[in-house]
Structure 1
Amino acid sequence: MTTVSDLSPTKADSPVLSRRFYITAWRWHFYAGLYVAPFMIMLAVTGLMMLWTATLFGRDGEKTYTVEPQAAISSVSEQAGAATLEIPGQIIQYIAPRTPEQAALFRINLGDASYMVAVDPYRAEVLGHWDRRTGLYDLADNVHGTLLIGTFGDRLIEIAAGFGIVLVVTGLYLWWPRDGRGLGSVLVPQLSAKGRQLWKSLHLTIGFYASLFLVVFLLSGLTWAGVWGEKFTQAWSTFPAEKWDNVPLSDKTHASMNHGGVKQVPWTLEQTPMPASGSQAGVTGTPEGQPVTLDAVVSLARIIGFDQRFQLAFPGDETAVWTISRDTMSNDGANPLDDRTVHVDQYTGRILADVGFNDYGAAGKAMAAGVAFHEGDMGLWNLVLVNIVCLSVIFLSVSGFVMWWKRRPKGAARLMAPTVGEHGPLWKTGAFVMLATALLFPLTGVVLLAVLLLDLLVFRHIAPLKKALS
């Protein structure tokens, strides 16, 4: 949208100039959409797959089996013993049931393989087991994050997310009512329109409402990306381990608790060093003078407030710790304010660190809430809203293609991008948006600069190529 700083009073009244700026924004929207739309469809479809797989079966498969509640619950050590009889390997993790009707889960590593074992918590009987992270949820998650091509895929998606912000900003500029029309003409779709005009009206209206949430989805997703997230945003938002008084630290960070590309650790803790076992640091946890057993640590978790579902990571080596955690990102609960991570010395049972939502910095709190919202973990309303947003994104991507196809003359051997016409004065607001995008999202900025250089040095000097891309 133009501002006073963009135009002089005389120029601001010029419909020709206003039209030129409109077409410039449309042109940016068009080219950004060419790259972004396929990614948006992929992200929305895989997001829906993860959402419904987690809803119906559980992110870790915890809803696959149901049990009949009994008067007494077997000790967790008995349950673990049954699990290791099924898979004779090393127990890595215990996941407590969310409801009395759900099974307890144990993650067990055997060689290079990792399994989940479901156990009836009342009878300590194994209900079944499966390969960990090989289900539909995990396939969708890997496509969603890396396109199944690792780091290169992560970078492509990060670039698309950055251009997605450009798409939202230019889309809102195009959405703003003009030519004497009121807000009602764009807040409500004109269902009486026909053909391309109907598609345009639906695209405008749905795009406006979806954009209010799409920016949240894009930013919360970007914070997991390899460059903007891990190297740019997460680095200065990491929880400071110095807040743990006189606690020995490990060479490993919390990210070592993640499994492959699957994120299980709160965003703000990923780059924070883990505390180390083997000292008298910390405060009293399990009863002093008694062995620090699985049952003792689970009992401690219940005493300090971990009810219903929580996760317990076992010590992996001689300096590692027991880690009790609950966070919305891992589908443990529906309220980010309840996120909590507690580390316990494996030898003394003393609590070395206790980090909750209130201990996070501003960015960490925003991410805890943003990721929970992104994943639809905050209740039925969130589940419904994420479904609507994903379906809206798919519609916007498809309708953009349909509008282009209907506008494009039959047999045209070029893209038919919006044409600005003769050069005019600089659109300062638009230039600022592009500059801000380049500075805020480095990968997107690099690609934007590369495209501009290619246009200046190559595209406009090769007539067939210039025509095809115009």
Structure 2
Amino acid sequence: MNQSHHDAAAAKQALLARRKSLFWRIHFWAALIASPFTLAAALTGILYIFTPQIEAQLYGALEHVAPSGVMRPLDDSVAAARAAAPAGWALHSVVPAYAAGDTVKATFSPPAKAAEPAAEHAGHNHGMAAPVPAPKRAFGAPSQAITVYVNPYTAEAVGSLVNQERFGSWAKKLHSSLLQGDGWRWMIELAASWLMVMLITGIALWWPRGTQKALPQAGAKGRIAWKQWHAFIGVVLSVMSAIILSTGLTWSKYAGGQIRMATDSLGQAAPKVPRDVQSIAADGAAPLSWQAVWDATRRQAPDGKLQLVAPGGPQGVWSASSADRSQPEKRFDLLLDAYSGQALYYSGWDKQTAFGKATAIGIPFHRGEFGWWNQALLLVFGVGVLFSLVSGWVMFFKRRQPGSLGLPRLLPGAWKSGSLTAWATAAVLLGAMPLLALSALAVVAVEIVLHRRSMAVGSQ
């Protein structure tokens, strides 16, 4: 009986050793692929964290004014914004002043057939713009849009700015695509995909078993110390890592499409604002003014900064939504009749799905929009990621023998040692992240070549 137990224990230890060598190998490949892009993402992400402070210095004179008396009707500010906008540009949306020192922000979209020439004059505030019909209701500022900032107390334009030229827009593009355009977003998505693999395999390698310790040991030096702190920091930041990676992947191009398809099939899609709602013009009824719509919205929606979009025609409806992502619980969509101000559709926080609520909280957290504590956590996370990258490569070069590739040793039978849970997790990750699946095929091809080469060398 004792011999049987001893043999079983030895077999289990051998299985765990093969499995550990497999995890080490996959962990290495994940680090090799993800490291360059992750380094760029971490550095640009740390820069992006401080967007509120940087933009406050750059655009404070546009976004804030000294309160003086009573605010004039919103229609006066909208008229001033129209006069200051480039001729022919269409008013897209308006964010009324919420706090006493806020300006009114009116966003304009360029003419469809002359977007490029008009954009050249976007930074100027001169020229009278003839009123143009309001565009059809749309969500999100269009490409090349400009925002005109108006003092709500004097109804005077204080300046304008091309939205894409804001520091926040530049920093976001730098972080998401390294300023290479949407066609290059795959770089960061590829890094995030392999970082998820690196996180999972890293936790599996760290998990205490037998004499293996969970915490760094005092007195450890050299590669052992680097290894202990590398694992410990990675695990400490694992929850943050999972949140940042998951939220980043939700708006990525390929993995994001897979996630949206899955949420739709599971009934977790966000409520869709209807497109076929119309206003009813009673005999002699006049369309509501901007001020009247603003007042009606404040009566029917949560208190907070909001955005208004005018009707697209006589039967169109007013659209109102939250303009403050730092208060996700006040997120709403409201459609108003253009003549009576009656709510034709309303969807608030209580109508959001569980996935919708998770992303409404997770995405602003990813961007550091919840205030200084959020920024501090992201800064710690970014520095931790940089330490993980540096310490991982320090260990690699300390382990690597001269003249060798430095790949972690793969024990015989390692690829067959994975548990059912491990292979199921791999299947989910590969299915959810197409770029991971494609690049994994390349890794498998390299592994096959290396295996055949080692077999050929061994047979000589």
TM range (shorter): 0.7 to 0.9
Over 3 Å counting, the alpha-carbon distance change for 1:347 and 1:313 in structure 2 is: same
Aligned to 2:105: 105
Conserved 8 A contact 1:62-1:103: no
Q: How far apart are residue 450 of structure 1 and its match?
A: 4.2
Q: Distance in 2 between matches of 1:353 and 1:229?
A: 28
Aligned to 1:125: 156
Conserved 8 A contact 2:104-2:152: yes
Residue type of the partner of 2:297? A
Aligned to 1:415: 405
Q: How far apart are residue 380 of structure 1 and its match?
A: 3.3
User: 268, 271, 277: which is aligned to 2:270?
Assistant: 268
Residue type of the partner of 2:359? M
Q: Does structure 1 residue 300 correspond to structure 2 residue 310?
A: no
Aligned to 1:370: 362
Aligned to 1:45: 43
Structure 1: give runs of 5+ residues left out of the alignment. Answer: 1-6, 241-265
Conserved 8 A contact 1:23-1:418: yes
Residue type of the partner of 1:95? V
Q: Does structure 1 residue 160 correspond to structure 2 residue 191?
A: yes
Over 3 Å counting, the alpha-carbon distance change for 1:416 and 1:392 in structure 2 is: same
Conserved 8 A contact 1:98-1:308: yes
The superposition leaves residues 304-330 of structure 1 with CA deviations (integer Å, 9 ceiling, x where unpaired) of 234342122334567754321116xxx
Over 3 Å counting, the alpha-carbon distance change for 1:316 and 1:138 in structure 2 is: farther
Q: Does structure 1 residue 405 correspond to structure 2 residue 397?
A: yes
Q: Distance in 2 between matches of 1:104 and 1:62?
A: 13
Q: Distance in 2 between matches of 1:140 and 1:18?
A: 45
Residue type of the partner of 1:416? G
Residue type of the partner of 1:385? L
Residue type of the partner of 2:71? I
Q: How far apart are residue 10 of structure 1 and its match?
A: 0.9
User: 428, 431, 434: which is aligned to 2:423?
Assistant: 431
Aligned to 1:385: 377
Q: Does structure 1 residue 396 correspond to structure 2 residue 388?
A: yes
Q: TM-score, length-normalised on structure 2?
A: 0.79
Q: Distance in 2 between matches of 1:198 and 1:64?
A: 51
Residue type of the partner of 2:256? G
Over 3 Å counting, the alpha-carbon distance change for 1:448 and 1:333 in structure 2 is: closer
Q: Distance in 1 between matches of 2:97 and 2:380?
A: 30
Over 3 Å counting, the alpha-carbon distance change for 1:323 and 1:398 in structure 2 is: farther
Aligned to 2:127: none
Conserved 8 A contact 1:62-1:102: no
Q: Distance in 2 between matches of 1:317 and 1:390?
A: 48
Over 3 Å counting, the alpha-carbon distance change for 1:17 and 1:67 in structure 2 is: same
Aligned to 2:129: none
Over 3 Å counting, the alpha-carbon distance change for 1:417 and 1:192 in structure 2 is: same
Over 3 Å counting, the alpha-carbon distance change for 1:170 and 1:220 in structure 2 is: same
Over 3 Å counting, the alpha-carbon distance change for 1:154 and 1:215 in structure 2 is: same
User: 83, 86, 89: which is aligned to 2:84?
Assistant: 86
Conserved 8 A contact 1:59-1:137: no
Residue type of the partner of 2:352? Y
Conserved 8 A contact 2:19-2:417: no
Q: How far apart are residue 218 of structure 1 and its match?
A: 1.1
Q: How far apart are residue 149 of structure 1 and its match?
A: 4.0
SS of equivalent to 1:126? strand
SS of equivalent to 1:311? strand
The structure 1 segments of at least 4 consecutive aligned residues displaced by more than 6 Å after TM superposition are none
Residue type of the partner of 1:364? G
Over 3 Å counting, the alpha-carbon distance change for 1:438 and 1:361 in structure 2 is: same
Residue type of the partner of 1:48? I
Q: Distance in 1 between matches of 2:62 and 2:386?
A: 30
Over 3 Å counting, the alpha-carbon distance change for 1:346 and 1:229 in structure 2 is: farther
Aligned to 1:278: 278
Aligned to 2:139: none
Q: Percent identity?
A: 28
Over 3 Å counting, the alpha-carbon distance change for 1:317 and 1:28 in structure 2 is: farther
Alignment of 1:249-268 (within 5 A): 268=270
SS of equivalent to 1:343? strand
SS of equivalent to 1:354? strand
Conserved 8 A contact 1:277-1:347: no
Conserved 8 A contact 2:278-2:317: no
Aligned to 1:325: 321
Q: Distance in 2 between matches of 1:59 and 1:431?
A: 51
Conserved 8 A contact 2:286-2:339: no
Moved more, 213-222 or 310-319: 310-319
Q: Distance in 2 between matches of 1:105 and 1:8?
A: 75
SS of equivalent to 1:268? coil
Q: Distance in 2 between matches of 1:64 and 1:42?
A: 31
Structure 2: give runs of 5+ residues left out of the alignment. Answer: 120-144
Q: Does structure 1 residue 355 correspond to structure 2 residue 347?
A: yes
Moved more, 41-50 or 385-394: 41-50
Q: Distance in 1 between matches of 2:250 and 2:198?
A: 19
Q: How far apart are residue 95 of structure 1 and its match?
A: 1.8
Q: Does structure 1 residue 210 correspond to structure 2 residue 223?
A: no
Moved more, 312-321 or 131-140: 312-321
Conserved 8 A contact 1:166-1:433: no
Over 3 Å counting, the alpha-carbon distance change for 1:20 and 1:300 in structure 2 is: same
Aligned to 1:243: none
Residue type of the partner of 1:165? M
Q: Does structure 1 residue 172 correspond to structure 2 residue 203?
A: yes
Over 3 Å counting, the alpha-carbon distance change for 1:15 and 1:230 in structure 2 is: closer
Over 3 Å counting, the alpha-carbon distance change for 1:117 and 1:151 in structure 2 is: closer
SS of equivalent to 2:406? coil
Q: Distance in 2 between matches of 1:433 and 1:416?
A: 27
Q: Does structure 1 residue 141 correspond to structure 2 residue 172?
A: yes
Aligned to 1:250: none
Q: How far apart are residue 339 of structure 1 and its match?
A: 0.9
